[in-house]
Amino acid sequence: MAMAMPQANISLQGEVPRTLSVFRVELSCTGRLDSEVTILMQLNLTINSSKNITVLNFKRRKMCYRKLEPEVKSPISDKNSSKAIFDPVNAAPTTSTRVFYISVGVCCAVIFLVAIILAVLHLHSMKRIELDDSISDSSSSQGLSQPSTQTTQYLRADTPNNATPVTSYPTLRIEKNDLKSVTLMEAKAKVKDIAISRERITLKDVLQEGTFGRIFHGILIEEKDPSKEKQVFVKTVKDQASEVQVTMMLTESCKLRGLHHRNLLPITHVYIEEGEKPMVLLPYMNWGNLKLFLRQCKLVEANNPQAISQQDLVHMAIQIACGMSYLARREVIHKDLAARNCV
């Protein structure tokens, strides 16, 4: 069809107007094809009697043309009636568009909520790692009595056979432990902020000696009060050590720098002057390493069977495990865990 069904705005109910009024007939083309449409409008007029009927015929022509898209019809309002023509086909795209935007909004809200939950869980896990050391130490020690030696086992690499208790250590900043090979200048730059002068260090006996390294029993003079001294371990290299060995000693010793745990022996100071052998200072412990301590306890067992108990051994093992667990969380591998390296 070239033209749609005519639509008039005349109400089918109500009274006939008694005054001059206007009505409208809408003649809309469908846009489906090109055609000339003949329109016949017939009006029946009844005057005084129903038998006296006057018929009026109005003829006209209208050209309809084909369109690419069909014409969108708007609802025809009726002044005398509250009814209007509604096209559900034209309303469908609007409804589907609303559903699409609502779906996109819901998906974005869900993604945002999941991201917030993951961020909160990540922050909670980071705080839990920081507090895990104290929690694990207290929970692991429940049910165990204090060792009869009343000492705390500290863990570090290449520990000598002698040591003294230290109650406080200088605060050091925590940094990411770099396990890659570095030059001697880079290794010195990493520990420059804890470097001290040679005049404050006094070397005494050699406690342990390796292939290219030595550990001395030393004395450190306090910077603020030169009259005060404290005992330290001084780790250095031999005269025939190469630059690679010097760099290795300095970097390996400083991997524990900035890590604070009750079962780790920290680095306190370094000496890194140009042209001199570098020195690494650690707190002095007078009980010796764990291997020597256990041998001495075994010799005493003949005269004193209660010198060291099974609970003491378990408590020592728990302290070592706590120290290694802390290192693992800080991405540090000890590589040589043994009784000789525990003090």
At 276-289, the pLDDT tens digits run 888 988 888 877 77
Which of the four pLDDT bands, split at 50, 70 and 90, describes residue 113? very high
Yes or no: say if 140 and 318 are a contact pair by the CB < 8 Å rule. yes
Taking residues 100-116, what's their average pLDDT? Answer: 92
Each as own residue / partner, the long-range contacts of residues 242-250 (CB below 8 Å, 24 or more positions apart, any chain) are 242/212, 243/184, 245/212, 245/213, 246/184, 246/277, 246/278, 247/182, 247/183, 247/184, 247/187, 249/212, 249/213, 249/278, 249/280, 250/184, 250/187, 250/188, 250/191, 250/278, 250/280
Which of the four pLDDT bands, split at 50, 70 and 90, describes residue 80? very low
State the pLDDT at residue 114. 94
Round to whole Å and give the CA distance between 127 and 141.
22
Is 336 assigned a catalytic role? yes
> Mean pLDDT score of the chain, rounded to an integer?
75
Choose, from 193, 225, 239, 336, the residue flagged as catalytic: 336
* pLDDT tens sequence across 121-141: 888 877 666 565 555 444 444
Contacts of 205 by beta carbon, 8 Å cutoff, 6+ apart: 216, 217
Taking residues 204-209, what's their average pLDDT? Answer: 84
State the pLDDT at residue 183. 76
Of the candidates 264, 291, 316, 337, which has an alpha carbon nearest to the alpha carbon of residue 149? Answer: 316
State the pLDDT at residue 156. 40
pTM beyond cutoff 0.75: no
* pLDDT tens sequence across 40-64: 888 887 776 667 788 888 888 888 8
Task: Give 18 or 131, the one with higher predicted confidence.
Answer: 18
User: Would you say residue 308 has pLDDT above 60?
Assistant: yes
Domain ranges of the chain: 7-86, 141-341
Round to whole Å and give the CA distance between 9 and 23.
6
Fold of 141-341: Phosphorylase Kinase; domain 1 (3.30.200)
